Each structure stands twice: as C-alpha cells, then as structure tokens.
Amino acid sequence: MKLHANAPLGPKGRAIMVRRVLEEGIALTEAAEAAGVSAKTAGKWVRRYRADGKAGLLDRSSAPKRVHNATAPERVEAIAALRRVRLTGPEIAETLEMPTSTVSAVLKRIGLGKLSRRSRRSRFAAMSAPGLVS
C-alpha cells in the first residue's frame, strides 16, 4: 500500500489508536491528539473499525463507484468501429458530433488510442489512388 507522503497514520497506527479508544478507554480526543490527527478523523477510523473490523482500517479508493454521464456502450462501439476503418480521433469526433476529448478518452480506454503514421498515410494514399477520386 502506498501512503500519502504526509499521512500521519497507516493501518498499523490506526489500529493502535482504535485499540486505545475501544479497549483502553482513552478519550477519542486524547487518542487523536496522540496520533496527530483530528478528533473527526479518529472518529472516522473508530466507526469504520466497528463496522468492518480490521478491513475498515485500510485505505479506500476515492474513485466514484458509478459515473453518471458515462459514454453509452453503443457510442463506444461506434467509436471503435470508426477507428478500425482508420479514422483519427478528431475525425471520429466530427463524424459523431462528440467532443474530441471524450473520443480520445474512449479510444485510450478500449486500447485503440494510437494510430500509427504509416497506417494513416496508407489510408490517404488509397483514397487518392487513380480511379477512386471522381
């Protein structure tokens, strides 16, 4: 586990603080002061320990559990299909009338973020080949 550089307590320190509060009967404010954290933070760790045991003392992800404005799966499929026919991110964004940043993020997430220069050149060369342009 990687702790923040200024984090006063890791899981072991949290366990000691919680033990002092719950088993030794030390006041929450005293235990918090001794641990170098606020009483609010100490209370949070005590509540989490009571609810989840030792697992409650581990750090939790700050990432949201759900993204409410996520790109629809149908749009992701359309972006992927257009990338497979070698369109660039800005071209896909213009075609689908979407922000370029959204298209770029989706392409990166699905592993189609890089479009090599060679493949772009060959696509343009094929488009300008004799007989294809009227």
User: Using an 8 Å Cβ cutoff, are 98 and 75 in contact?
Assistant: yes
d(CA 33, CA 4): 20
d(CA 80, CA 2): 35
Token pair belonging to 99 = 């922000």
pLDDT at 5: 61
The most distant pair of C-alpha atoms in the chain lies apart, rounded to whole Å, by 87
* Full-model pTM: 0.51
Residue closest to 58 by CA, chosen among 5, 11, 7, 6: 11
pLDDT at 33: 94
41 pLDDT above the threshold of 50: yes
Q: So where are the chain's domains?
A: 11-57, 73-127
pLDDT at 129: 52
Q: Which of 46-60, 62-76, 115-129 has the lowest mean pLDDT?
A: 115-129
The amino acid present at 103, given as its one-letter code, is: V
Chain mean position to CA 89: 22
pLDDT at 60: 86
